[in-house]
Amino acid sequence: MFVLEFKVKAKTQQYQAIDDAIRTAQFIRNKCVRLWMDTKGTGKNDLYKYSKELAHNFKFADELNSTARQASAERAWSSISRFYDNCKRKISGKKGYPQFKFSRSVEYKQSGWKLLNPKTIKFTDKKNIGILKLVGTWDLAYFQESDIKRVRLIRRADGYYCQFVLSCEVKEDVKPSGKCIGLDVGLSSFYTDQEGNKIDNPKFLRKSEKQLKRLQRRLSKKKKGSSNRQKARQRLAKVYLKVSRQRKDFVVKLARCVVHSNDVIAYEDLRIKNLVKNHCLAKSINDAAWYQFREWLEYFGQKMGKITIAVAPHYTSQNCSNCGETIKKTLSTRTHVCKCGCELDRDENAAINILKKAIQCGLGGSRREQLNQEGLSTVGHTGSKAWGENASTLIEEILSKQAISVNQESTRL
């Protein structure tokens, strides 16, 4: 499954109708969470039934399409099931207890909307959204309408968007390059490979910080509830949105380039949630978008038929890549120097260790023979595809995680 996104052009009253639909979806989702909190043993089917009851009890809920109400109930169940899974796995810290949320989107399944042509969509429920024009470069004429499993209307700082989730196989034929690469991500350089090549960290948030601080000061001076405060809030939100898009554009293009140029990509299985507990580095780590980069590596790996391997990060920076001896270093020590005569940049040494660990993990069976035929001296084993077929059908998970399942995980997962 993959997602196509278009910007929406409509009249003011249609935008207001979209906002009304979003508020209704939020209401149903939060009411379902409340039912689960108050009633022991509430299951997914109970939430479906309850969404139907809400339509009988509230006129504004009945105006929303039935499949959109079901999708809102699914969103509630998604957060509940994730909480159950975290409890079963006994993860440390907070388990993600379901919370009431402020929504910015409403989603429809395969009813409540109709494509009039590749650039026009009509919503047919009683919210009176009507006909919307779609602005974008994608051409929906290449796909069957039956391939569109979900349609989602999203409100962002710079306008409204329409997303289409299609159940199509996305593959790209790429000739084998015969290369392997080990990546060590960092803050000074975005990543360093085993040959010492570095990609500079763009630091989009840091570059926009001066502008953000100025807009935040202006926002704080506006009277609460005033139209001027709403305008100041909108200007601030647009800058944050721009930073987010810059970051995503950078990691998508870089991940595609890395996967296209290599047959085996090895990287660290970092726990970002734990790393950001260091308040001195949290902002820089979040700005670097390491996990987003990993997600796109795995997506393009599955799309192009390449191998992506996440290895345990233990001692990759401390161990010597030449002799294996452990050389203790602080974060300020940027050069690896060993008694065996090996002297390397700290990140380059780590990248070599990461690639070695990936090779030691093993690639088994037919894949080993295939790589040997292609001239790769790697041995190993791969697990499930990076973005496999066992994806959840819930649109919230599809859009946020893009149906991720990790290709090769360390034993910590």
The confidence score (pLDDT) of residue 7 equals: 95
Residue 188 has pLDDT above 90, yes or no: no
Q: Which residue has the higher pLDDT, 327 or 52?
A: 52
Maximal CA-CA distance, the chain: 77
Helix, strand, coil percentages for the chain (3-state, nearest 5): 45, 20, 35
Strand residues in 186-340 grouped as ranges (E): 189-193, 198-200, 264-268, 307-311, 335-337
The confidence score (pLDDT) of residue 270 equals: 87
The confidence score (pLDDT) of residue 272 equals: 86
- For residue 296, name the pLDDT band (cuts at 50, 70, 90): very high
Mean of the pLDDT values across residues 139-167? 91
- For residue 144, name the pLDDT band (cuts at 50, 70, 90): confident
Residue 397 has pLDDT above 80, yes or no: no
- For residue 362, name the pLDDT band (cuts at 50, 70, 90): low
- For residue 146, name the pLDDT band (cuts at 50, 70, 90): confident
Among 15-24, 92-101, 177-186, top mean pLDDT goes to 15-24
Cα 306 from chain centroid?
20
User: Which of the residue ranges 65-79, 86-100, 182-196, 321-335 would you say has the lowest mean pLDDT?
Assistant: 321-335
- For residue 360, name the pLDDT band (cuts at 50, 70, 90): confident
In sequence order, the β-bridge partners of residue 193 are: 183
Task: For residue 32, give every residue at least 6 positions away whose Cβ sits within 8 Å of its Cβ, in sequence order, or none.
Answer: 47, 50, 51, 72, 73, 76, 77
* Rounded CA separation 362/58 (Å): 58
Above pLDDT 90, what percent of the chain?
54
